[in-house]
Structure 1
Amino acid sequence: MKLTYQFLWRCMAGAVLVLAGCRKTDFPEVSSPAYLRVFNCLTYNITIDNKDAPQPFLTMLVDPELDASGIPVGAGIVFDYLDTRGPLARPYPDAGNSALFQKDYPGTAKIPVGPIVNGYDLSGYGMITSGSHRFMFVTRPRSTDPFFSLTAAARKNILVDSTIQLDQGEVYTMNVLERSIYTRKTGIYLRKEIFTKIPLSDSLVYTNFYNLSSEGYAATYSFGELNAQTNVCIRDTMNVFYTLYTANHTPVNGFSNLFTASMIRSQDPVVHPYTNFPLFPVAGGDGIFAGTSGQKFNFLLPGIPPDYAYGNLQESMGMFTSLAVGPEAPIGIFNTMADIQTGMVISIRSGIYNPRSFATVNTVEYVNGNMYITTLQRRYDPPIYK
């Protein structure tokens, strides 16, 4: 059977963007699939020490074919133009986007993506046949030329070459990471997600936190460099506190500076515990629309009180940073400018309601001075127009 049902979910996802550009696409059958999302978390800052290192613009080859010289000449799956990751990974593919450079896999590529599984929309994950696969990531010139039209010399810079096992029906997040500041070795981080298997309330917003930075990143970071951003480097162990906001950047009563998690640097690919906050934290609401909202997460060295005011311009030497999410959150060090349709609380026309608010499942990952969010969307009923 052709996977034409994928078109339906792409169009539902596109409804979040006012039904932008959905079109029918027939996909080849994927037998016994696993579900995979891939991010390129390599962000080299050019210095005198690494000026000759290959830049982090990649081609992903799954089950590559190599010639006698070890240069790729084909692959079972080719995902080209994999650029560095963006700060917000939305929960659905943008079916109307024709961008060539990709922020993640499956990105905007017209490939089969996941269905609804246990109430969670996996349309942000590509389908891949389960089993053992060889993954190769090759650095390539930043151009619009397809990978296999490049010269052999431009196709020989193999950055990662690893064989991994993908189990049927499982959901995976893959990051291409630098393992160590000292060795500059790059590798694959593969985490088997569990959100489809554990009981999560639809009235709570869930988040877990990871510091996936390179070994030695915090210890060797040079504070006070000319033109350096303030408070983007944090220590290897931090406590995380959150504050919820409603209209006009007003803190929600009872939800200021609450401890939510400890975040310890590790590239061990285990799922970290989820913490949560209420979908409807403001008393007296209608339980349908949460209103415009925002969240701010403060990351503090253990022992520092959560209300300690560093400010955005005072360098804390790795003891503080913050992440602001959504339209009502005050400015932080890292700012994810999500709106009510793309933040940690998604409000969208659904059923007879316009809008209706839905909780999400989120992952916050800190990697070498960058903060990233991946949002997972719950299934919602399509709108009913009277």
Structure 2
Amino acid sequence: MKRINIFAFTAWLALAGCAKVEYREIHEPAYLRVFNNLNYEVKLENRFEEQPFLTMLIDPEFDAEGVPIGGAIVGDHLDQRASYAPPFPTHSSTSTSYRNPEYPGKANVLVGPVLNGFDLSSWAQIPSGEHRILFVFRPISAEPFAALPARLRSQVFIDTVVSLAPGEVYTLHVLQKDFVTKQNGMILRQENFHKQPFADSLVYFNVYNMSAKGFWNAESMLKPEITSYGNMRWGMRDEMDMYLTLNRSIPGVDHMTTLSESLPLPGHYMNYVGTVRRDTEHAAVSPYAAFPVFADTASNGISTTTVQTLLLVAPGMDPAVAPGSSRDAFDSNGTYIPLAFHGKIPDVRVTGLGSAVPFPNMIVSEHSGVYNPRSFATVNSIEVVNGRAYLMTVQRKYAPPVYN
């Protein structure tokens, strides 16, 4: 493992040849995870914006001229977040890339324990209490923040104070609040998934629209042209209804290609989930919806090939209406956005949904015990930001593999 869940240690040889170990521990820590949601690209149209590459300073330190030089906690080289934040750390501290898609990410720091069964190893331990936090624009380079010249350490755009309670779990999002004025800010969300009586047999998810004010109705030429995001890239309206479909994946039905097909499960087609409203001001946790891990009665109760499709449509629109010949209209006005969760099953198609943003499955299947694979429930947050969607998954600890 790249980090230690409870203790970090250093060791050195004493004169007598014995090894002495020093243990470091944070008393009554809070748990913090940070994402950089500034996902724009600097082009001719927005050439006056700073590159969205950041340094986070908690309890900052300053030089004689008042320019930040470091802090008690430094999250450096904070790059734009990845589309998927998995339920376990994947960014090895030995990686040759200096870019960090989240904090703690590859930072070698104390991380969270298993709390109420949930693995918090993707959250950093930090001392609880009141902290001053700075976010600074910095150049895209491997140089550490403290080694940059003063003029490149002075682009502070967030300077705030937060209070973190001991034992609480926080997710901090840096984001753009206004697409026209380019105002930036942050949301510090106090998570509650570890406090809820969630069942092991259900998958839970909630959805946030943290897009900037004015993004979805701005001129298309000002938005990123990322075709892999399908309809999502043009943005979604400030209020959208959600419908969930669960599908059984049937691999190999199309013998001309390697594509799989997915067929809706009885009772799980276009079920209304709730309404998503754009919000970049409030940190409240969105309500969780749920669906069974083994909704497919044909499964063996150990693993499943169930895949999910979440459809976001404008209020009052029939969710069963496919884009068809009028797809361009749906693309341009942000009324029809499908998200497909298919995981390891290649190129799953959901008939009638057109181009869907692909995500890993919300049901995680791993080698556990004597079963390979075994399917597990997870807790998920789907966060939509300026034409892109991101998935963060949290998982309970599961039994390690048993090899014969």
TM-score (norm 2): 0.84
Quick one: structure 1 residues 381 and 144, their matched pair in 2 at CA, closer, same or farther if it must change by over 3 Å?
same
Q: Deviations over 1:179-230 (max 9, x none)?
A: 2223322112011011111111111100101111112222334379895755
Counterpart position of 2:284: 270
Give the 5 Å matches for 1:32-71: 32-71=28-67
Give the 5 Å matches for 1:183-332: 183-222=181-220, 229=227, 231=231, 232=233, 233-248=235-250, 249-251=261-263, 252-267=265-280, 268-290=282-304, 292-310=305-323, 314-316=328-330, 317-327=333-343, 328=345, 329-330=348-349
Q: Deviations over 1:104-123 (max 9, x none)?
A: 11112221111111111111
Whole-angstrom CA distance in 2 between matches of 1:333 and 1:87 = 17
Which segments of 5 or more consecutive residues in structure 1 lack a partner in the other structure? Answer: 9-24
Whole-angstrom CA distance in 1 between matches of 2:306 and 2:6 = 31
2:311 partner SS: strand
Whole-angstrom CA distance in 2 between matches of 1:209 and 1:263 = 7
1:112 partner SS: coil
Counterpart position of 1:336: 358
Counterpart position of 2:119: 121
Counterpart position of 2:396: 378
Whole-angstrom CA distance in 1 between matches of 2:116 and 2:25 = 22
Quick one: structure 1 residues 59 and 5, their matched pair in 2 at CA, closer, same or farther if it must change by over 3 Å?
closer
Which of 361, 375, 387 is residue 369 of structure 1 equivalent to? 387
Whole-angstrom CA distance in 2 between matches of 1:350 and 1:226 = 41
Quick one: structure 1 residues 191 and 356, their matched pair in 2 at CA, closer, same or farther if it must change by over 3 Å?
same
Contact 2:42 2:50 in 1 (8 A): no
Contact 1:162 1:188 in 2 (8 A): no
Which of 340, 348, 356 is residue 374 of structure 2 equivalent to? 356
Q: CA deviation at 1:333?
A: 4.4
Contact 1:58 1:83 in 2 (8 A): yes
Q: Deviations over 1:61-101 (max 9, x none)?
A: 11111123221122101111110011111111126451321
Counterpart position of 2:364: 346
Q: CA deviation at 1:250?
A: 2.1
Q: CA deviation at 1:245?
A: 2.1
Quick one: structure 1 residues 40 and 95, their matched pair in 2 at CA, closer, same or farther if it must change by over 3 Å?
closer
2:146 partner SS: helix
RMSD over aligned Cα, in angstroms?
2.5
What is the count of residue pairs matched by the alignment? 363
Whole-angstrom CA distance in 1 between matches of 2:387 and 2:223 = 14
Q: Deviations over 1:256-289 (max 9, x none)?
A: 2111121011121101110011100111432111
AA of the residue aligned to 2:125? M
Identity of aligned residues (%): 40
Q: CA deviation at 1:313?
A: 5.4
Q: CA deviation at 1:234?
A: 1.0
Counterpart position of 1:22: none
* Segment of structure 1 superposing worse, 39-48 or 50-59: 39-48
* Segment of structure 1 superposing worse, 67-76 or 216-225: 216-225
Whole-angstrom CA distance in 1 between matches of 2:185 and 2:92 = 32
Rg larger for: 2
AA of the residue aligned to 1:385? Y
Give the 5 Å matches for 1:30-109: 30-94=26-90, 96=92, 98=95, 99-109=97-107
Q: Deviations over 1:328-351 (max 9, x none)?
A: 44276453352xxxx311111222
Which segments of 5 or more consecutive residues in structure 2 lack a partner in the other structure? Answer: 9-20, 251-260
Q: Deviations over 1:143-185 (max 9, x none)?
A: 1111111111111111211110111000111100112223322
Quick one: structure 1 residues 206 and 307, their matched pair in 2 at CA, closer, same or farther if it must change by over 3 Å?
same
Whole-angstrom CA distance in 2 between matches of 1:226 and 1:95 = 26
TM-score (norm 1): 0.87
Contact 1:4 1:27 in 2 (8 A): no
* Segment of structure 1 superposing worse, 177-186 or 312-321: 312-321
Q: Deviations over 1:220-256 (max 9, x none)?
A: 3437989575522111000111222222332223222
Give the 5 Å matches for 1:6-45: 6=6, 28-45=24-41
AA of the residue aligned to 1:270? A
* Segment of structure 1 superposing worse, 67-76 or 83-92: 67-76
Whole-angstrom CA distance in 1 between matches of 2:22 and 2:152 = 33
AA of the residue aligned to 2:292? P
